[in-house]
Structure 1
Amino acid sequence: MIVKADGTPIGKIRAALYTRVSTERQSQEGYSLEAQHDQLIAYTNDNKMQIFKIYTDPGVSAKNLKRPGVQELIRDLKAGMFDCVIVHKLDRLTRNISDLYGLVELVNEKNVKLISLSEQIDTSNPMGRMFVYLLGIFAQMFRENLGEEVTKGMKKRAEKGLHNITVDLYGYERQDNGDLIVKEEEAKWVRWMFERYAAGDGSPKIAKSLNRQGIRRNKGSKWDHSKVMLSLGNKHYCGQVHNKFKKDDEAIVRQGTHEPIIDPELFNRVQVIMERKREGLISQNSYDYVFGGIVKCAKCGYTYTGLTDKRTPSHARHYACGGKARAGICDQGGISEKKLANLIFKTTFAKGEEYTRKHVPSKQNDEEAEIRKAIRESEARRERWQMAYGDGNMPYEDFSKRMQAEMLMITEIEKKLSTIPKQVVSHLSSEAAVKMINDMKENWDLFEQRTKKDIMQSIFQRIVIRKDGDIWRIDEIVWA
């Protein structure tokens, strides 16, 4: 519509009319398309408007906006083709409160009036704008309630062992009924990822190898470090479902109804390796260096770094003190990998039981156990208070004070919990670790580097070495 400088219109208002009925029966017995059409035409004539176009959707439900007529109306609205939209009743446009609010927002954005004859709504006047405001409140309530209901439904599914995946998970095809069916062509690469990681390959190396071989993720995207790590931690692959709906919620883990791709033993082994890498207890360096990351200098505390002497035909490997090589603060010399392995074999055979008694951490941390017990007791108290308040047996003021004091207490003890060093959990007992090392001594030179590192880094958390004159010795061994 063309307007003057003061905003008054020049010429007639261009009106878009919209009509809809959902079934043939409605068109015959209800307020038919013809009746809607006649009423809208009469309104435009009475108000001296120019009809731009009549949009209609005969026999179509208003559950959403996926209708040819209303989609065409929206396209022309965005293009600024008319000045107002007129309907017989708002539910002709949509019965979905969220969709309706979105339409009203679009109408306001384009400075177009929305007129509903039955509700006597005109968004160009104060009452019409008040309606839009109220509509926004109801739309917000609708969205929040819908979110809560969806979460409730997802929790019930999770508790029954049913997944909440809404798109295809690599290795599976999601059926129309929600079932996950193994896609063997993808599943073999899922198994390959787990096997390579368990064998020592890092996630970047796995991603690069997949991309080089032309293996792509869903929708053709390439693999990277983060996508590989997400796959390796996904419990769906070992036949479980895992859901956590809020940050502070306890995760719901159940045995799923779908077929697993990964054996639980392999899955758990990969999780242990991932956790130990996160804690810095396994070297993430190349498998060229069997003792990378776990050998420390007794004098300066720095880690010994693996090096290769490429001047020798065998490319002999040795380890140099980081405090000497990088920081220049230590005088400890280097040690060859072969000599270091023999030193470990000799020491564990002679002093295995001594190191077992001295260095293996206790399985129970008393302080941590007490804190976790206090947290559990607090949760139980809060649950009882909530039930009492809900049943009307506790005044709100009393309930509020107790909950506030309890949460302050929980905050403090959780801070204290975070300061307690984490214990390293091993799948080997210290006695078994000593026996394993000694049993392997005779065949050590026959193993590949990868196998040697797997063994050493799964058994040892830290080996502290010292050189006195020409003699090397081990000051401390900490089992993994």
Structure 2
Amino acid sequence: MRVVLYIRVSTDDQARDGFSIEAQKRKLVAYCDSQDWTVVDFYIDEGFSAKDLNRPAMKRMLEDMEQDKFDMVLVYKLDRLTRSTADCDKLLKLFEAHKVMFQSSTESFETRTATGRLFIRLIADIAQWERENIGERVRLGMEQKVIEGKKPGGKYPYGYTSDGKVIPEEAEVLRKIRSMYVKDNMSLKKIAVQLVQEGILRRNYNWTQSTVGLTLENIFYAGIIHFGSKMANGKYPQRRREERVDMLEAVGTHEAIWTLEEYREHMSLIRQRSNGGHTRKLEYWFTGILRCGKCGSSMYGRLTNKRTTKSGQVRTPYYWCGRRKDNDSCRMPMFRQVHVEHLLFEHIEKITIDENMTEQKMKKVKAERQNKEKEIQKIKRQLDDTRERMKKWQYMFVNDLLSVDELKERINEEKIKEATFQKEIDTLKVNDEESEHIKSQLREMKDLWPLLNDEEKIEICRIVFKKLTLHTDLENPKGVKNKFFDSSITVEYH
């Protein structure tokens, strides 16, 4: 039985007896030893709440489950896994779909029967009720702080010390930003660029278009404390200026940097200048997967101004680097969308062109595959040896022949070796499969592409490609008008 241990502690749990990472690990390893189960991995989320599944180790565990790396998930208590009834139900269905058993070392239930699953859901309901009760008490405490004019939680923004005192030099920068926006009529981006050029940092980071905008929108600088950030539909807003409900506001006890009238004045200007709205996203086929080869940032879609042609007024979609967009700190030129499309299909042509192999080349490919298979088998034996050593260290720990620190050190060493071997196997397999599965996808994509609309092109790109990276030696910010300049593309597949 290949068992994995899922261990979670929130910040509050750290001090509770029996809930520390080491305590859970020790008890779970001993439990597995008593059942003669093999522990193949540990998934540890330190400092994370159980309110949702957005946790690094949880995500890794679910990904590994997809690859059939274990047969059972063992936890100390159900609330270590989740405190949400909906998430509990979701996890049980996922475990069942992948034929993975689930067990708690301190609670008795059986996931393979209807009664057992009902019992788990009842426990999850109680855990969710406890979490919601805690949340309500925390919210009441925060609301009381706001009523008293105190900050309800979190760090103080730029311009203030950790105890809420104004930092004169930073306050002067904030007044300068407002003056550049209101009096000098500068855009958010131009303000960010000027601050970067003058060497003015925002807590050791460069100012960007978005941080300048969010700073101007922050009512805390006008002496107002607010709490509550949900919109009318109950969801959290993506932007601060969106309509919210149940917002509690009060005059704060902290020193304001702008007056409330000044804040209202520049917020009115922000609304006026943003009336143009955002461009449709459907024009941009490669958004979300396109990267800058100079700095690694995402590349974003944008439309040119309207120009008149024989077929009427048109706007050309193109892409520019996120760092350049924010503060001009990258020299990557802009790429027209048709240029990116041209580079991508050049790459696809090279990958798929070898359909008609010569007999000699086919023999060579066959020999290479046989060598790869031998290499895979060799690495698999090394991987098995590594896992056997891990079992040995766990046995020595349970029998007090190793301390917790020694076990952790040796397991970490073996995990590094295991990850290295597994990566080598995966790489060899992927390289071998690329000539079959990926090529088949690319040929299909090449045939379908002219028939697809914008939305379908976006979808097929995200299904096939993990990342597309553009490269060029050119540093002309505007690229080359209406021409395909010297450049290349590298492709990562899912």
Shorter-chain TM range is 0.3 to 0.5
Structure 1-normalised TM-score?
0.38
Q: Which has the larger radius of gyration?
A: 1
TM-score (norm. length: structure 2): 0.37
Question: Which structure has more RCO (C-alpha within 8 Å, separation ≥ 6)?
Answer: 2
